[in-house]
């Protein structure tokens, strides 16, 4: 299980109104876990990918997770 992420360093895109789930960067030490379950519902990304996504979206952008 991934340890708690420091939100000031997270590049977090909230996908629930409560903020309980989101799309966010993960630490380099955890990149090997990308693509498989290792959190409580968040979508984790490589830091570079999360930075690109964060720059592309704004509040109100629809998010569909399949």
In contact, 45 and 24? CB cutoff 8 Å: yes
What average pLDDT does the segment 36-45 reach?
A: 84
Cα–Cα distances in Å, from 56 out to 21, 31, 48, 59? 19, 22, 13, 11
- Helix, strand, coil shares, percent, the chain, to 5: 30, 15, 60
pLDDT tens per residue, range 12-33: 888 888 888 888 898 888 899 8
Q: What CA–CA distances, in Å, run from 19 to 28, 32, 42, 53, 66? A: 23, 25, 10, 17, 19
Mean pLDDT for all residues in the chain: 81
Q: Quick one: pLDDT band at residue 48, thresholds 50, 70, 90?
A: very high
pTM: 0.71
């Amino acid at each position: 299980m991934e340890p708690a992420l420091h939100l000031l360093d997270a590049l977090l895109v909230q996908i629930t109104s409560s903020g309980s789930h989101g799309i966010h960067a993960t630490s380099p030490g955890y990149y090997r876990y990308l693509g498989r379950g290792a959190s409580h519902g968040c979508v984790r990304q490589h830091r570079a990918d999360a930075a690109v996504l964060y720059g592309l979206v704004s509040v109100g952008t629809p998010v569909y997770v399949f």
